[in-house]
Structure 1
Amino acid sequence: MSSGSYADVNGINLYYETHGSGRPLILLHGGLGSGEMFGPVIPALAAQHQVITVDLQGHGRTADVDRPLDLGTMAADIAALIGHLGLDRPAVVGYSLGGGVAVRTALDHPQLVSKLVAVSAHAWTEAVYADMRAQQGQLSAAAAEFMKDTPMYQDYQRVAPRPEDFPHLLDKIGAFMAEPLDLREAIAGLQVPTMFVAADADMAPPSHYVEVFGLLDGGLRDGGWMGEGRPKGGHALAILPGLTHYTIFASPLLAAVTNAFLSEG
């Protein structure tokens, strides 16, 4: 069973749902989605954790507010929610846009986070395939009419407090994706044990995630019989087979590697 609630935090009325019991895990969805998109994997995660799905600013059941979509601001929302709920250093797991928010939460508020799992979240703009960057550059309110037959549009219309805001959300997502991203230096300084996860046919190539793992002291030497050569910060990398950017969030493989990583140590 799950229960849905609102938290008035950081200037936004944030919708969240709680599933299961155990050590807390905050689960953050991708752009134009909501916490509901994790429906296929929530049972496996909730068997070991108290899973808290959050609808980010302007998504799902969380109404938009007068500010841009910004990773730092949305991370501050999550930090405020952790305090509001009195959570003791939850794991933070995020996919795509939510993965960026999860990374930013761990970077800006490391004292609040036990472990980080960033799924299909590239770390710098040019890692994304050029044709995908071109598509992202075209996203704006003008695309709303062409998206009316998509599950993203239909789900938004079903749950959003203001369904008429969908074109405005497209404008904000487009503006967000137009901003250059480069987290190389920041990721190298992560203080929270982190696993980067990607599909083997994701929006950026597997080599990008290997490079990111290298920034975390990973993939630089043999791990050793006792794991003594593994990354010093407890970091990990998972490339999941047979998946894409658009299927990984609902895959049993994602739940399996997430549970395994969070149960270590």
Structure 2
Amino acid sequence: MGDYVDLPGVRTWFESEGSGEPLVLLHGGFCTNDTWGAQRADLASAYQVLLPERRAHGHTPDVAGPLSYQDMADDMVAFVEKVVGGPAHLVGWSDGGVVALLMAIARPDLVRRVVAIGANFRPSSECFVEPAMLDAMTPEGPDLAFFREMYEAVSPDGPSHWPVVAARMIDMWRTQPTLTTEDLTRVAAPLLLIVGDDDMMTLEHTTALYRAVPGAQLAVVPGASHLVPLEKPDLVDRLILDHLAQDGVDTMMPVRRAPAAGAPDGGET
């Protein structure tokens, strides 16, 4: 069951299940909480799982003006403050991963651990394997049919608002996010990046993100695409749960995580 919470930016729909430490699931662009179907039960067996639907997504209405990752991150910060009331783990998929990174940078006091799946830190022209894919996307076209059906089924703005939201989303992907590798050094929460080996983002871009965040971990899932949580749900759930429960990284032959000169054993660079 779900309910609304009134946030400064937008009246936001969310669902909740399970008990334990709070874990916020941040869905991808154009998506609803239905896309977390393969993860909810496993994660709710160990955590209190909270699933907000961001502005212009699912049951949450659109807001006048262009869409931005920063506005959505601000909404989710307000959500954690009001609904959770303290720090939470974040698991974000695609656009949700971008939002999680922005939250970790802006409000480290509210973020425990982060898992970002298929996330990017630069606009589509700089990170997509096929940047021209956006040129073929139209609100009524086949590429967005799956997302259009999800939107029309539950949006409080009604089916007629879909073309507006679709255009705003595509514009956002063309121009955002605009994080730098220096910005990413401010992510203090332990971060796990998960990508398919045939993801929308280039592996080079993902590697740059991985290298920029201090202490980040990287999982490249073989035989998987940008939809890796749906394609390899058992593996993705295990990776998420292992990361959230992890207390430090202890490997036998560390290189990137080797102690700095003069640091005590177990320290990280």
Shorter-chain-normalised TM-score: which range? Answer: 0.7 to 0.9
1:172 has 2:168 as partner:
yes
Report the equivalent of 2:51: 53
Q: 1:256 to 1:64 in 2, by over 3 A?
A: same
2:74 counterpart residue number: 76
Using the alignment, how far apart are the partners of 1:69 and 1:118 within structure 2?
A: 20
Relative to structure 1, is the Cα distance of residues 11 and 189 closer, same or farther in structure 2, using a 3 angstrom cutoff? closer
Give, as a single letter, the amino acid of the residue that structure 1 aligns with 2:221. Answer: L
Q: 1:255 aligns with which of 229, 237, 246?
A: 237
1:150 aligned to 2:166? no
Give the TM-score taking structure 1 as reference length: 0.85
What code does the residue aligned with 2:166 have?
L
Task: Indicate conservation of the 8 Å contact 2:42/2:237, yes or no.
Answer: yes
TM superposition shift of 1:135: 1.5
Residue of structure 1 equivalent to 2:38: 40
Please state how far the C-alpha of 1:95 moved relative to its aligned partner: 0.6
Instruction: Kindly tell me the number of residue pairs found equivalent between the two proteins.
Output: 242
Distance 1:73 1:58, change over 3 A: same
Aligned to 1:208: 205
What amino acid is aligned across from residue 7 of structure 1 in structure 2? V
Percent identity over paired residues: 27
Change (3 A) 1:12 1:165: same
Is 1:29–1:96's contact at 8 Å kept on the other side of the alignment? yes
User: Residue 94 of structure 1 is aligned with which of 80, 88, 92?
Assistant: 92
* Local SS of the residue matching 1:102: helix
Residue 164 of structure 2 corresponds to residue 183 of structure 1: no
Counterpart amino acid of 2:244? L
Q: Provide the rounded CA distance (Å) in 2 between the counterparts of 1:173 and 1:149.
A: 11
Counterpart for residue 226 of structure 2: 245
Deviation string, structure 1 residues 119-147 (Cα, Å, up to 9, x no partner): 10122231221x2x1112454xxx22224
Residue 117 of structure 2 is matched in structure 1 by 119
**Once the 2 structures are TM-superposed, how far is the Cα of residue 182 of structure 1 from its aligned partner?**
3.8
Match of 1:222 in 2: none
Give the equivalent residue in structure 2 for 1:199.
Answer: 196
1:213-252 CA distance string (max 9 Å, x none): 22234xxxxxxxxxxxxx3xxx311111221013435622
Paired residues of 2:181 and 2:212 also in contact (CA < 8 A): yes
Q: Is the 8 A contact 2:139 2:167 kept in 1?
A: no
- Report Cα offsets for 1:2-61 as digits up to 9, x if no partner: x30111102201111002111111101111111111111111111111111111110101
Q: Which amino acid aligns with 2:223?
A: G
In the TM superposition, what whole-angstrom CA distance separates every residue of 1:189-229 from its partner, at most 9, and x where no partner exists?
Answer: 21211111111110123333223222234xxxxxxxxxxxx
Matched, 1:64 2:62: yes
The range that moved more, 183-192 or 40-49, is 183-192
For residues 179 and 117 of structure 1, the distance between their equivalents in structure 2, rounded to whole angstroms, comes to: 24
1:20 to 15, 18, 24: 18
Is this contact kept in 2: 1:124–1:184, CA < 8 A?
A: no
In structure 2, C-alpha distance between the alignment counterparts of 1:188 and 1:86, rounded to whole Å: 26
1:51 is aligned with what amino acid?
V
Is contact 1:138-1:174 (8 Å) kept? Answer: no
Q: Which of the numbers 6, 9, 12 marks the counterpart of 1:8?
A: 6
Unmatched 5+ stretches in structure 1: 218-230
Distance in 1 (alpha carbons) for counterparts of 2:21 and 2:64 = 34
Unaligned runs of at least 5 residues, structure 2: 248-269
Tell me the distance in 1 between the aligned counterparts of 2:40 and 2:105.
Answer: 25
Change (3 A) 1:37 1:113: same
For residue 67 of structure 1, report the CA deviation from its aligned partner.
3.0
Q: Does the 8 A contact of 2:14 with 2:52 survive in 1?
A: yes
